[in-house]
Structure 1
Amino acid sequence: MIDASAPELPQIESAFQPVLSLAHGAPVGYEALLRARDAAGKPCSPEAAFAVARQAGRCGEYERACLRRHVARFAQFAREDDVLFANLHPDVLVDPVHGPALAQELVESAVEPNRIVIEVLEARQETPAALVDAVERLRAHGFLIALDDFGAGLTNLGRVWDLRPDVVKLDRELICKAVESYRKARSLLRLVDLLHDIGTFVVIEGIETEEQARLSADCDADFVQGYFFARPAIEIEALAAFGAGSSPPLDARLGDARKLRRIADLEELAPYRRAFGRFKDAWCLGQPLAFAARHFLECEWALRVFVLDESGRQVGENVESDHCCERRCATFPLLARRAGANWSKRAYFREALLRPGETIVSEPYMSSSSTNLCVTLSAFVRLGEHGYVLGADIAFEGWSRHLA
């Protein structure tokens, strides 16, 4: 067994950063972080420390020594319901010697397995089946499993499906990008929804500003972590005080964070709604499609209008706005021919049939007409014995730039 103070290997110290539950305003647990010192006693990064261990051929032993240190330190300050998040490299987990030994050391530690979350680090694994087996063995002991840095590098949806983690931690780059625009924020919300649908808790990491913190709450993340809430600490007294504080460590304003508004609720959509209503009324009075839709097509980000029959098949071609061509992206030539195409599976068509006469607002989706992200306004109307769904597309990519 390695001596963590061996002169040829970096010395090991543990720091901890809270992982906070947004619903409770308190730590659900703490992530252990390596704070190493080289042979001269100078601080060195975890990457540099493990590079030294790897060069000495003792990487697995060093990883186990770090984890023993983390667990021992955690046990000194943690409350009985605190959970330890501990990073492990996939290569160590699948190692035939160090993998089982590590698990046994954890089982025999002072912290119960159901209070330890094994974070599988983002790294290439040449034998993915072996990693699945190793994770299953850890799960059988009662450990929880997390995937780190989702959205960066190799940690992808396939790995989520394979490893079935209890927790997915989103790479900090995602929240940094998401605060840049409404469109990116919506994409982050959809990603969180997708991971929840798979059956995992979601941690948003790297939160450094109030804007990022509020967006994390808007996206319905379960847990958050970052300098905005607390920096990693080595001192046990500081960690114990953080967990036992009488006032919630989260800013109370986060509980009132404005949820990301649905497209249908946006005030900025009002001019398009009004113009679509005029289009619908004019077309039902028998005016030609292009003339009936002229007011809508004059709106800044209007793309086109079209008509579907009750089965979802398009009647005639689109009527495009004058500026649609300059916003058209490269596409497959066949997709430009819309007449006769069947759009019965589109949500805007199904919703219109269910709510006759109402103006339906779709969520953004990829339009096959021009491969633009678009939002469609639709409505079911009846002329004599026949029913039709009128549709009108808005270029979401351009329109959303003006959204707060």
Structure 2
Amino acid sequence: MIDAQVPGLPHIESAFQPVLSLAHGAAVGYEALLRATSGSAPCSPDEAFALARRAGRYGEYERACTLHHLRRFVRFADDETVLFLNLHPDVLADPVHGPALADDLLESGVTPGRVVIEVLEARQDTPLALIDAVDRLRRYGFLIALDDFGSGLTNLGRVWDLRPDVVKLDRELICKAVTSYRNARSLLRLVDLLHDIGTFIVVEGIETEEQAQLSADCDADFVQGYYYGRPTIDVEAGGTLARVPTSTLGAQLTDARKLRRVSDLDELAPYRRAFGLFRDAWCWGVPIERAARHFLECEWALRVFVLDNTGRQVGENIESERHDHWRRATFPILARSAGANWSKRTYFRDALVRPGETIVSEPYMSSSSKNLCVTLSVLVNVGGNGFVLGADILFEGLCRTLA
């Protein structure tokens, strides 16, 4: 194992920041962060590693930082605490330093299952070498995390390739998610997708109460950021990190209410009432243009349409006249609605299994114009035949009315 300092390069010191479990209100582990100095002046991690790279000693410096973090960690950590270690893909995939780094970790005395290797976001020209390196670490028992997901090259393909145990979401995602209901829902869907793949989710960069509550609302597993605890060097056994203030975590899980289900939105009430009038009038034989009048008068109503019981559209859409710029077809053929088959749409399938009940879809992209829609639908019986009535609401517009 190499020495924990590298002569001629910035002095290495370790800071630790808690990663907290929302469900348990306690730290699951701590991320080790480099706090370097060059001479007597602070030196940022980017600057320190740039100096090491220019000196041709990047791998050596990365290993020295890892060793220093491990030695500091064992001074305060209990037997359940996990250490998150940031490692550059170039070092992991290096034919010399990659295996040597694994040996350093194994010789540290820290059980592999208590070490999470965070693969940093960086351009990687040898992806197969990185995959092999990660597989080798996983076989030893180390956990794998992807850092800064949602920025740069850390994409879904890398998740599939590396099969991480943990994905850490870039802080920009939570910053943007709190700015609108639509962004918040997109973050929720991203967390759901990553959970489906089989990873734990850490939301990084939490600095405000609103960001903390939204992270809970999105069903994140773990959280990290200044709101919960800043990185600190001055920590020893039983020190400050053991007393991270987590009393508000339970309240955040209970109080998070930003992401109400679309079907529960009070703002949909006038659309539901108008859709009921449309349904009743159409079933009584009123021509669809007249039957749809009340619904299309609603502010963000886009269109109504009728499907047969196989999902094929009967006739053309009846469109609102007030949102023409929202419904221009991206491709001309998509403007043809009569005869189109919508049997795979969830609003159609849900209507079939719950006849007579008004269904409220989740937001989805309209196939004709790319805008997001929420569709109200209902299965009715007219003359012994089943039909599904549908009505689209512009989700972008509806979002503007949401708190």
Contact 2:376 / 2:390 at 8 angstroms: preserved in 1? yes
Change (3 A) 1:329 1:83: farther
1:133-181 Cα shifts (integer Å, max 9, x gaps) = 0000000110000000000000000000000000000000000000001
Residue in 1 that maps onto 2:253: 255
Residue in 2 that maps onto 1:18: 18
Counterparts of 1:363-374 in structure 2 under 5 Å? 363-374=362-373
TM-aligned CA deviation for residue 253 of structure 1? 2.1
Unaligned 5+ runs, structure 1: none
Change (3 A) 1:264 1:249: same
TM-aligned CA deviation for residue 385 of structure 1? 1.7
Counterparts of 1:5-404 in structure 2 under 5 Å? 5-38=5-38, 40-237=39-236, 240-244=239-243, 248-259=246-257, 260-329=259-328, 331-404=330-403
SS of equivalent to 2:396: helix
Contact 2:22 / 2:250 at 8 angstroms: preserved in 1? no
Q: TM-score, normalised by structure 2?
A: 0.97
Question: CA separation in 2, counterparts of 1:329 and 1:110?
Answer: 63
TM-aligned CA deviation for residue 401 of structure 1? 1.7
Cα RMSD after superposing both structures: 1.4
Change (3 A) 1:244 1:326: closer
Question: CA separation in 2, counterparts of 1:361 and 1:111?
Answer: 52
SS of equivalent to 2:35: strand
Contact 1:85 / 1:118 at 8 angstroms: preserved in 2? yes
Question: CA separation in 1, counterparts of 2:327 and 2:142?
Answer: 51
1:5-49 Cα shifts (integer Å, max 9, x gaps) = 4442000000000000000000000000000001x2210100000
Between 384-393 and 329-338, report the one with greater CA deviation.
329-338
Question: CA separation in 2, counterparts of 1:368 and 1:239?
Answer: 58
TM-aligned CA deviation for residue 241 of structure 1? 3.3
Question: CA separation in 2, counterparts of 1:201 and 1:172?
Answer: 16
Between 252-261 and 117-126, report the one with greater CA deviation.
252-261
Between 257-266 and 53-62, report the one with greater CA deviation.
257-266
Contact 2:303 / 2:320 at 8 angstroms: preserved in 1? yes
Question: CA separation in 2, counterparts of 1:3 and 1:74?
Answer: 16
TM-aligned CA deviation for residue 257 of structure 1? 2.4
TM-aligned CA deviation for residue 384 of structure 1? 1.5
Contact 1:14 / 1:32 at 8 angstroms: preserved in 2? yes
Q: Residue 180 of structure 1 aligns to which amino acid in structure 2?
A: T
1:241-276 Cα shifts (integer Å, max 9, x gaps) = 33256x745444213123421100111100000000
Question: CA separation in 2, counterparts of 1:249 and 1:240?
Answer: 18
Change (3 A) 1:239 1:394: farther
TM-aligned CA deviation for residue 108 of structure 1? 0.9
TM-aligned CA deviation for residue 368 of structure 1? 1.6
Contact 2:329 / 2:368 at 8 angstroms: preserved in 1? no
Question: CA separation in 2, counterparts of 1:126 and 1:23?
Answer: 39
Contact 2:76 / 2:237 at 8 angstroms: preserved in 1? no
Change (3 A) 1:248 1:370: closer
Question: CA separation in 2, counterparts of 1:238 and 1:343?
Answer: 62
Question: CA separation in 2, counterparts of 1:175 and 1:248?
Answer: 20
Question: CA separation in 1, counterparts of 2:248 and 2:128?
Answer: 40
* Percent of residue pairs bearing the same amino acid type: 73
Contact 2:6 / 2:64 at 8 angstroms: preserved in 1? no
Question: CA separation in 1, counterparts of 2:190 and 2:29?
Answer: 23
Q: Residue 254 of structure 1 aligns to which amino acid in structure 2?
A: Q
Contact 1:329 / 1:372 at 8 angstroms: preserved in 2? no
Contact 2:374 / 2:394 at 8 angstroms: preserved in 1? yes
Question: CA separation in 2, counterparts of 1:365 and 1:239?
Answer: 50
Q: Residue 256 of structure 1 aligns to which amino acid in structure 2?
A: T
Runs of 4+ with >3 A deviation: 1-7, 247-252
Q: TM-score, normalised by structure 1?
A: 0.97
Contact 1:304 / 1:324 at 8 angstroms: preserved in 2? no
Contact 2:75 / 2:236 at 8 angstroms: preserved in 1? no
SS of equivalent to 1:255: helix
| Equivalenced residues, count | 402
TM-aligned CA deviation for residue 388 of structure 1? 0.3
1:56-84 Cα shifts (integer Å, max 9, x gaps) = 10000000000000000000001110000
Question: CA separation in 2, counterparts of 1:250 and 1:225?
Answer: 14
SS of equivalent to 1:11: coil
Question: CA separation in 2, counterparts of 1:351 and 1:156?
Answer: 32
Unaligned 5+ runs, structure 2: none
Contact 1:2 / 1:62 at 8 angstroms: preserved in 2? no
SS of equivalent to 1:33: strand
Q: Residue 188 of structure 1 aligns to which amino acid in structure 2?
A: L
Change (3 A) 1:63 1:370: same
SS of equivalent to 1:388: strand
